Structure 1
Amino acid sequence: MSEDFGLLEPADQPGDEWEKLDVSDTEADRIARRQDREFDEFRKRIKDTEQFKLQESVFDDATLAAVYKLVQDGYVDAFGGPVSTGKEASVFEALGGQAGERPEPGSEVAGGGPEGVTPEREVAVKVYRINSSNFRQMRDYLEGDPRFEGIASDKKAVVLAWTRKEFANLSRAQKAGVRVPEPIAVQRNVLVMELVGHAEERARRLSEVDVENPETAYEVVREYMRRLYGAGLIHGDLSEYNMIIHDGELVIIDLGQAVTVHHPNAGEFLARDCENVATFFTRQGLDVDPDDLRAYVTEPEADPTGEPASGGKTESNAEADGKSTGASDEA
């Protein structure tokens, strides 16, 4: 087998070694260099703080870049100390930036402050550890979720998807009328959301308080479970450890593992949630049957005036939803 190879004819004479090239700075070059300098300064400032020294394993360069982007975009003004620390994620207190929804100056929410004074809003910054997160457990909740079909199998891709999943779940739950921490922004493995309570005085988990009115608390919980289900979500790990009490409100937290009702294990996760909730409120003196709870949660138009499992007459869930759960801070 033979082929003929030809040479291209030069279009013009090549230049010589004294050919002039334009190597002057462009505006894009100057912006890029400034951003690099600012990021280096930000990284040095963060690494010098006590929080970083205590949580150094959390802040790799990729995470620092994500936090820096959130600062640049106006979602975070100042970084504070840790609120909670876990194997998979750490939560830090921070001041929300201008991009976050702050109360209007002078408004009742802002405490009637003078015009022109922008009140600072505390936010929570949740950082997922890419290296130490439970990769296999996360995949169990992600696989089968139609929102994450085709996700890569490496750990980084799973953790980044998990972070976005929690943001999406919080957004959907909030729209459905479930009291959850308000989602504000997400960047890679970093999630910014409402800080419920304060770092110095954190909100208490349901497991840590003396529930003075368990009937009302139970009605609020089951109504939130029903609203989640109506929005196509199942919490997947609901218990007294993933519900907190603050200012008389019951707040559902940790929605990272929440799955859609189309997940192949949705029925199993819902059954477990109902069992956990029934077990807790049975310890509070109520007669709660997990099967009855599941029937209520999955009923498309559940009767809000239905009798509770304890057999006593109660107010409607719509009324109970806006009332205090009657939980005190006595652990």
Structure 2
Amino acid sequence: MIDDVLKFFRTLDSKDLRILTGIEIGMKNFEWVPLEEIRKYTKLNFDQLEYRLFKLYKSNIVVGTKTPYEGYQIYFDGYDALALNTFVKRGVVSAIGDEIGVGKESVVHEAIQEPELAIADPIPVIIKFHREGRTSFKRVKRVRDHLVDREHFSWIYAARLAAKREYDIMQTLYGKISIPKPLDHNRHAIVMAPAKGSILVKTRLLEPEWVLDEILSQIKIVYSEGIIHSDLSEYNIFVSDEGVEFIDWPQYVTVEHPHADELLERDVFNVLTHFRRKYNLEKDLDEVISQIKENV
């Protein structure tokens, strides 16, 4: 839980953070990073290192094993602490608030960024912590194209790669389609502007036809950029008086993907099904797909 991270975060010093970084780096090559490898990276003597590792272990920042050798892994709380430390140093985040969203593969928190001018109000932002690999590596590999050819990877690798992938595509698409503004990225976390409005699944629309047309228009623009969201539904579309915004991009594919047509159809089907069930609006799936692909 991020609340536990925040309590412990204030007690971490540079040596603790170096230990966590050493374990993070070691997990590229080891399932359990040997104590000797951590010592080489941190240059701490064994007494200091074991004392600090025990403190981190008791706080669930790291996990350890004694068999077949003494080794350690960084835990999500520890990875959260490293990302937060970087964001604070960069001035991207100055305070973190309530959890506002949680799923199988991410946790989202409100946060604040200090304004450039002291007299200005703090700037609200969102931090999304990726959690890929927390449940099943096999399932994650099955649904993530960027992992299918990797024989060995840690959850750190899966979460970090997903966050970078999402941040990169948001940077590419921002300004061309309606998405929250991406602000920064570190490890498995992304800082972005809050999405405008409210999430579609929890919103009762006064003008559902207008909103549906806005969503389909955005899908067409995304497609014209050579991209398919591939996980689009009422759970990751925000609506406001200004229009719509799409979130959750780590599973995007390009139009050259071998299953591009199938994934586009699934996105559109999910959207049309929501509006048919909730507002009794009917649109022909094949006609909508044809309109999206027209002149592209």
Q: Is the TM-score greater than 0.5?
A: yes
Residue of structure 2 equivalent to 1:132: 134
Residue of structure 2 equivalent to 1:109: none
> What is the letter of the counterpart of residue 266 of structure 2?
R
Residue of structure 1 equivalent to 2:102: 85
Residue of structure 2 equivalent to 1:156: 156
> What is the letter of the counterpart of residue 295 of structure 1?
S
Residue of structure 1 equivalent to 2:14: 36
Residue of structure 2 equivalent to 1:168: 168
Q: How many residues align?
A: 230
Change in 2 beyond 3 A, CA 1:90/1:286: same
Please list the CA deviations of residues 139-164 of structure 1 after superposition, one character each: whole Å capped at 9, or x if unmatched: 34442x6xx89656413322211111
Change in 2 beyond 3 A, CA 1:152/1:160: farther
**Take 2:144 and 2:295, find their aligned partners in 1: how far apart are those partners?**
26
> What is the letter of the counterpart of residue 194 of structure 1?
A
Alignment of 1:282-293 (within 5 A): 282-283=276-277, 284-293=279-288
**Take 1:290 and 1:81, find their aligned partners in 2: how far apart are those partners?**
39
**Take 2:152 and 2:15, find their aligned partners in 1: how far apart are those partners?**
34
Q: Which moved more, 1:215-224 or 1:148-157?
A: 148-157
The structural deviation recorded for 1:135 is 3.3
Asked whether the 8 Å contact 1:235–1:258 carries over to 2, the reply is yes
From the CA coordinates, give the structure whose radius of gyration is larger. 1
CA RMSD of aligned residues (A): 3.0
> What is the letter of the counterpart of residue 267 of structure 2?
D
Change in 2 beyond 3 A, CA 1:247/1:222: closer
Alignment of 1:3-18 (within 5 A): none
The structural deviation recorded for 1:58 is 7.5
Residue of structure 1 equivalent to 2:198: 204
Change in 2 beyond 3 A, CA 1:299/1:268: same
**Take 1:133 and 1:298, find their aligned partners in 2: how far apart are those partners?**
36
2:184 corresponds to 1:185: yes
Alignment of 1:260-279 (within 5 A): 260-279=254-273
The structural deviation recorded for 1:133 is 4.5
Residue of structure 2 equivalent to 1:194: 193
Please list the CA deviations of residues 2-59 of structure 1 after superposition, one character each: whole Å capped at 9, or x if unmatched: xxxxxxxxxxxxxxxxxxxxxxxxxxxxxxxx9716959xxxxxxxxxxx99xxx974
Asked whether the 8 Å contact 2:230–2:266 carries over to 1, the reply is yes
**Take 2:141 and 2:229, find their aligned partners in 1: how far apart are those partners?**
16
Asked whether the 8 Å contact 1:93–1:123 carries over to 2, the reply is yes
> What is the letter of the counterpart of residue 236 of structure 1?
S
Change in 2 beyond 3 A, CA 1:208/1:169: same
Gaps of 5+ in 1: 1-33, 41-51, 106-115, 198-202, 302-331
The structural deviation recorded for 1:249 is 3.1
Alignment of 1:1-331 (within 5 A): 36=14, 39=17, 59-97=76-114, 117-129=119-131, 131-143=133-145, 153-154=152-153, 155-176=155-176, 178-196=177-195, 203-283=197-277, 284-300=279-295
**Take 1:152 and 1:159, find their aligned partners in 2: how far apart are those partners?**
16
**Take 1:267 and 1:137, find their aligned partners in 2: how far apart are those partners?**
22
The structural deviation recorded for 1:120 is 1.1
Greater RCO (Cα-Cα under 8 Å, separation 6 or more)? 1
Asked whether the 8 Å contact 1:274–1:291 carries over to 2, the reply is no
Change in 2 beyond 3 A, CA 1:288/1:257: same
**Take 2:15 and 2:152, find their aligned partners in 1: how far apart are those partners?**
34
Identity %: 26
Asked whether the 8 Å contact 1:196–1:246 carries over to 2, the reply is no
**Take 2:158 and 2:15, find their aligned partners in 1: how far apart are those partners?**
31
